[in-house]
Amino acid sequence: MKPLPRDRERRGALVVEAAVVLPLLIIVMLGVWEVGRMIQVKQMLVNSAREGARLAAGGYTVNSAPVTQAMVTQACKDYLRGAGLPAATYNGAEVTLTCMASPSWVNPHDAEPLDRFRLRVRIPPGPAYEGTRWSFLPKLTAINELDAQVDWVSLNNEEINIDSNLPL
């Protein structure tokens, strides 16, 4: 059975349509892929900041060692490493611990109970940020850095009073 002349014409139109639509479809798919990856990395940063803030809030570690800014920074970077980010990313991450209380303190173990502080984790532009990308194309979005911050309250030396005269 011979194909009709009209079928041959349609086959050519299909090739032309695919040649026009396929590159656009691939670019859109890669854009969605890259934006999805940035959302994933942003969530990793938020979790890293929360992990560091949780450590800072206690003021002391389990073995009663005083918590310092360096320990909080290391806890944040350890979380990013454990989350599977490349070495250039977690080593290049910037961690900033800011006391929002008065009097101000530098290390979390010097905080008073209920002192507010802010912890910010930032992946700056350059090699640290480039390690987070999956796309092989140079740039699909204008994003070139990521950051996350959490506001927390110190529980350092918080006393818990238990009234032993409570009725049974």
In a domain, 85, yes or no: yes
Number of domain units in the chain:
1
* pLDDT tens per residue, range 38-51: 899 999 999 999 99
pLDDT below 70 — which residues of the chain? Answer: 1-11, 135-141, 158-162, 168
Q: Is residue 3 part of a domain?
A: no
Of the candidates 40, 43, 97, 88, the one whose C-alpha atom is nearest the C-alpha of residue 68 is: 97
Domain-located, residue 46: yes
Residue 161 resides in a domain: no
* Phi–psi pair at 150, nearest 5 degrees: -130, 145
> Hey, which bits of the chain come out as E strands?
94-99, 116-123, 146-153
Does 94 map to a domain?
A: yes
Structural domain contains residue 167: no
- Backbone phi, psi, residue 155, to 5°: -115, 15
Tokens standing for 14? 């299909």
pLDDT in tens, 63-91: 888 999 999 999 999 999 999 999 999 99
- Give me the pLDDT at residue 119, please: 97
* pLDDT of the residue at 116: 94
Q: What integer pLDDT is reported at residue 35 of this predicted model? A: 82
At 68 the three-state DSSP class reads coil
Is residue 113 in a domain?
A: yes
Q: Which range marks the domain in which residue 61 is found?
A: 10-134+143-153
pTM of this structure? 0.76
108 part of a folded domain: yes
